Amino acid sequence: MSSAIINGKEIGQEIRGSVAKQVDELKAKGVTPGLAVVLVGDNPASKTYVANKQKSCEAIGMYSELIALPETISEQQLLEHIRALNEREDIHGILVQLPLPKHINEDSVIATISPDKDVDGFAPISVGKMMLGQETYLPCTPYGVMKLLEHSGIEIAGKHAVIVGRSHIVGKPMGQLLLQKDATVTYTHSKTPDLPSFTKQADILIAAVGRANFITAAHVKEGAVVIDVGINRDEDNHLCGDVDFAAVDGIASHITPVPGGVGPMTITMLLANTVQAAAKTVN
Ligand SMILES: Nc1nc(=O)c2c([nH]1)NC[C@@H]1CN(c3ccc(C(=O)N[C@@H](CCC(=O)O)C(=O)O)cc3)C=[N+]21
């Protein structure tokens, strides 16, 4: 029997519907939620992502502004742009598209975003609050995965979640959010010996490695829930995840496809976070 597909496009649309209602309510109070997207240089993949984010904002009646800056901009100049956005009343969320050019220190840039506008949830204050379980903007991809699990009726408490990958923006926060919902969490990464011996124990397996078709049948326990966070290109330049879908289909109880799984949820939660930021500015 094939695995149940967790449809992120559909679940994302449903959530966007309720976010759109919140946008209408805020507009009736005179506030249009606004997102600023800062793009440095002209990496084609980044341009596509940024265009998708803007289109998604506009589709639900939000304001979005693209600040496109040249590859050669200095770190100081970029920080000035961010400080100006921090001050603007019509901008509630700021997203600096990553990666940045090598001559710019990403940590300094992210730390300059006002925590009140950090809708990516990447800034040190946001990460610290998340670790402590305090109210904050959750990083969009792990937040989106939690919504996928919730909407699919997948129980988390008492389950063994195994995370493959320990990036600051996906792997690490993903484990924390699952831990907060009472999962037993194991982190694995490129230095983990005999990876399958760990992943085979997972009730919930999160693949966030960034390598096409890295997770195969040998990594997955019968009946596991497999969440594929990867966005890669295969030899034919097709979008694919970290999981060899065809190989794992039928072993997993549930699986997310790429495209149409986690990706659409990332943008959905960005919209939700920005609307939440705007809502905080009205009484
Ligand atoms: N500050 C920052 N925040 C980010 O959230 C951020 C970033 N930088 N840099 C790049 C990554 C990548 N990312 C994606 C979001 C949605 C899809 C998405 O919706 N993908 C569609 C497919 C889109 C297509 O066909 O190309 C899907 O999976 O179905 C993909 C990738 C956000 N990122």
**Residue 212 maps to a domain:** yes
Per the domain annotation, does 97 fall within a domain? Answer: yes
Q: Is residue 230 part of a domain?
A: yes
**Residue 14 falls within a domain, yes or no?**
no
Instruction: Please indicate, yes or no, if residue 268 is contained in any of the structural domains.
Output: no
Structural domain range at position 99: 30-115
**202 Cα–ligand 1 center, Å:** 26
Q: What ipTM was reported for this prediction? A: 0.96
One domain, residues 182 and 251: yes
Residue nearest to atom 2 of ligand 1 (CA): 97
| Same domain? 151 vs 100 | no
Residue 163 shares a structural domain with residue 240: yes
Shared domain for 154 and 92, answered yes or no, is: no
- Residues 190 and 258 occupy one common structural domain: yes
Atom of ligand 1 nearest to the CA of 9: 29
Q: Which of 62, 81, 115 is the last residue of a domain?
A: 115
List the binding residues for NADP(+).
Answer: 165-167, 231
Ligand 1 pocket, residue 98 CB under 6 Å: yes
In the chain, how many domains are there? 2
CATH of the domain at 255: 3.40.50.720
CB 97 near ligand 1, within 6 Å: yes
Q: Does 166 lie in the same domain as 89?
A: no
- Write 223-226 long-range contacts (CB < 8 A, 24+): 223/252, 223/253, 224/251, 224/252, 224/253, 225/149, 225/154, 225/252, 225/253, 225/254, 225/255, 226/3, 226/252, 226/254, 226/255, 226/256
Regarding whether 231 and 163 lie in a shared domain, the answer is yes
Residue 176 falls inside a structural domain: yes
Closest to 35 (Cα-Cα) out of 274, 269, 220, 199: 274
List the pLDDT tens digit at each of the 283 positions of the chain.
899 999 999 999 999 999 999 999 999 999 999 999 999 999 998 999 999 999 999 999 999 999 999 999 999 999 999 999 999 999 999 999 999 999 999 999 999 999 999 999 999 999 999 999 999 999 999 999 999 999 999 999 999 999 999 999 999 999 999 999 999 999 999 999 999 999 999 999 999 999 999 999 999 999 999 999 999 998 899 999 999 999 999 999 999 999 999 999 999 999 999 999 999 999 7
How many A from CA of 49 to the centre of ligand 1?
5
| 104 lies in the same domain as 148 | no
pLDDT for the residue 78: 98
For atom 17 of ligand 1, which residue has the closest CA? 263
Q: What CATH code is carried by the domain that includes residue 49?
A: 3.40.50.10860
Q: Is 73 among the domain residues?
A: yes
Clarify whether residues 38 and 80 are in a common domain.
yes
Task: Indicate the top mutation candidate among 5, 46, 52, 271 to test ligand 1's pocket, ranked by most ligand atoms within 8 A of CB.
Answer: 52
Residues 157, 106 within the same domain: no
254 and 208 within one domain: yes
User: 48: CA distance to ligand 1 center in Å?
Assistant: 9
Q: Are residues 100 and 165 in the same domain?
A: no
Domain-terminating residue out of 100, 115, 130: 115
Structural domain includes residue 134? no
Q: What is the pTM of this model?
A: 0.97
Q: What is the pLDDT of residue 1?
A: 87
> Ligand 1 mean position to 266 CA, how many Å?
7
